Amino acid sequence: MLGYEIDWAVTAQMTTAVAAIIALFLGPLLGFEVSRRLAVSQSRQSWLDGVRSDLAQLIALHEDQVSAIEEARQIREMGLRRQFPSDQSGDYKHESGMLLHRVRMRLDLSDAKQLNLLAKLTAFVTCHEPDHDDYNPNPVLDAFEAVRDTVLRDIKSARL
């Protein structure tokens, strides 16, 4: 037809050589991308663990503080003179303030879910009345779960 014959053995060798050259260049690029995604995933998991730890400490500390205030209030109502120790109150305020600021600095306040978490956490920490709706830590935990679910979904889908 065209005056030449196709040498299939040579064609197969050339195709194999081209595929090997492409793999030579794509292999490291794909390896780099996988490593980068793994590093980002580990970083996000570490971030989640840090926020979770700080929230747990802050909620426990605040509940201890409110319990101590309530105990001092009940003792005063019974006519005794015991006051909430001011040095202990200062320690609570310092540690809870430090934890609140640490959580705030970890959050991306341009993200609506993370901003909601901060709002719920601030309302909880500034409430010292056990009967008040803001004293319930469940809204804080729900807001954290929404943030956590979004981050975990991003990790799983590797949307970076």
Over the stretch 7-65, which tens digit does the pLDDT of each residue have? 888 888 889 989 988 888 888 877 877 787 778 888 888 999 999 999 999 999 988 88
pLDDT tens per residue across span 77-135: 787 665 555 556 667 788 888 999 999 999 999 999 999 999 999 998 888 777 788 78
φ, ψ of residue 111 in degrees (nearest 5): -90, 125
pTM of the model: 0.68
| Domain housing 55 | 43-157
1: in domain: no
80: in domain: yes
How far apart (Å, rounded) are the C-alpha atoms in residues 59 and 22? Answer: 55
50: in domain: yes
